[in-house]
Amino acid sequence: MAKSDSLLPNPYGDESSFGQVSESALSRRVRIRDSQRVFWTRISTLPTTSGLRTILSVAAICYVVVLFSGRGPGNEQVGVALFAFQSALFAPALFASSFAQMSARDRLQLKAEGKKTMEAYPGVERILNTLHERVLRERTRLLCSIVAALAVNSSDDLYSGTILSSFLFGLAIFLGSIALLNTMQLERRIPMRDEDFPLLSLHAPTLHQSTLDRVLSDLVVAHLDPETAGHWDDWVDELENKVRSSQTPASAVEHLLRVLHLNHLGLLDDDRLLSESKRVFRVAAIDELTDESSKFNIRTLRRLMAHTRAWQPGLFRLIDRLQDSAMRGHSSLVESPWRMDLDIPPRCSQGQGDLFVMVHNHSRQQAKVEIEIIAADGEPHKQTIRLSPPLSRQPKGPSRLGEEGNDLVDVLGRLIDNCFVLWIGLAWQKNISGSRPVQVTLRGPQGETLSSLVVTTSLSSGFNPEGAAEKMLDAAVAVRRLAISVAE
**What CATH number does residue 449 fall under?**
2.60.40.3880
223 in a structural domain: yes
Same domain, 215 and 286: yes
Question: Is 71 a residue whose pLDDT tops 70?
Answer: no
pLDDT of residue 483: 52
DSSP string, 165-192: HHHHHHHHHHHHHHHHHHHHHHTT--SS
If you average pLDDT over each of 165-179, 203-217, 315-329, which comes out highest?
315-329
Provide the β-strand partners of residue 117: 111
134, pLDDT greater than 70: yes
Left if phi > 0, otherwise alpha if psi is -120 to 50, otherwise beta: which for 182?
A: alpha
For residues 43 and 102, membership in a common domain is answered with: yes
Number of structural domains, the chain?
A: 2
pLDDT at 487: 47
What local confidence, expressed as pLDDT, does residue 157 receive?
63
Nearest to 225 by CA among 307, 135, 309: 307
pLDDT digit string (tens) for 75-130? 788 888 999 999 999 999 999 999 988 888 887 776 544 445 565 566 778 888 88
Indicate whether 473 belongs to any domain. Answer: yes
Q: Same domain for 215 and 344?
A: yes
**What pLDDT, on a 0 to 100 scale, did the predictor assign at position 305?**
94
In a shared domain, residues 115 and 34: yes
pLDDT interval class at 272 (50, 70, 90): very high
Query: Are 245 and 139 part of one and the same domain?
Result: no
Average pLDDT over residues 403-410: 88
pTM as predicted = 0.79
Q: Which of 343, 342, 321 is nearest to 333 (CA)?
A: 321
Query: Are 181 and 217 part of one and the same domain?
Result: no
437 within 8 A of 342, measured Cβ to Cβ: no
Residue 238's pLDDT is 93
SS3 assignment, position 131 = helix
Same domain, 338 and 441: yes
In a domain, residue 448? The reply is: yes
pLDDT digits (tens, 9 = 90+) for 14-34: 444 444 444 567 678 878 888
Distance CA 351, CA 376 (A): 12
Residue 86: inside a domain: yes
**Average pLDDT of the residues of the chain:** 83
Does the residue 347 lie in any domain? yes
Q: Residue 17's pLDDT is what? A: 46
Q: What pLDDT, on a 0 to 100 scale, did the predictor assign at position 94?
A: 93
Q: Are residues 208 and 185 part of one domain?
A: no
Q: Give residues with Cβ within 8 angstroms of 85, minimum separation 6.
A: 56
Same domain, yes or no: 164 and 266? no
> Is there a domain that residue 169 lies in?
yes
Q: Provide the domain limits for residue 151.
A: 20-193
Residue 230 pLDDT greater than 60, yes or no: yes
Do 177 and 231 belong to one domain?
Answer: no
Is residue 332 scored above 70 in pLDDT?
A: yes
Share of the chain above pLDDT 70, in %: 84
Q: Is the pLDDT of residue 52 over 70?
A: yes
Does 7 reside within a domain?
A: no
Residues 179, 240 within the same domain: no
Once rounded to an integer, what is the mean pLDDT over residues 403-431?
Answer: 90
pLDDT average, residue stretch 393-420 = 90
Residue type, 173: I
Higher pLDDT among residues 1 and 414, named by residue: 414
In a domain, 10, yes or no: no
- Dist CA 187 CA 96 (whole Å): 13
Quote the radius of gyration of the chain (alpha carbons, Å): 28
Instruction: Give the pLDDT of residue 289.
Output: 93
Q: Tell me, what's the pLDDT at 14?
A: 45
**488 pLDDT band (50/70/90 cuts)?**
very low
Residues 423, 358: Cα–Cα separation, whole Å: 9
Alpha-carbon distance of 73 to 63, in angstroms, equals: 11
Q: Cβ neighbours of residue 284 under 8 Å, at least 6 residues apart? A: 242
Identify any residues that bridge with 212 across adjacent strands, giving them in sequence order.
Answer: 421
- Percent of the chain exceeding pLDDT 90 equals 47
CA 63 to chain centre: 40
Q: Which of 140, 160, 193 is the last residue of a domain?
A: 193
pLDDT of amino acid 115: 45
User: Does residue 380 have a cis bond before it (omega within 30 degrees)?
Assistant: yes
| 137 and 225 assigned to the same domain | no
Q: Which of 151, 174, 193 is the last residue of a domain?
A: 193
pLDDT in the model for residue 408: 92
Are 290 and 282 in contact, with CB atoms under 8 Å apart?
no
Dist CA 303 CA 200 (whole Å): 10
Domain finish residue from 166, 193, 220: 193
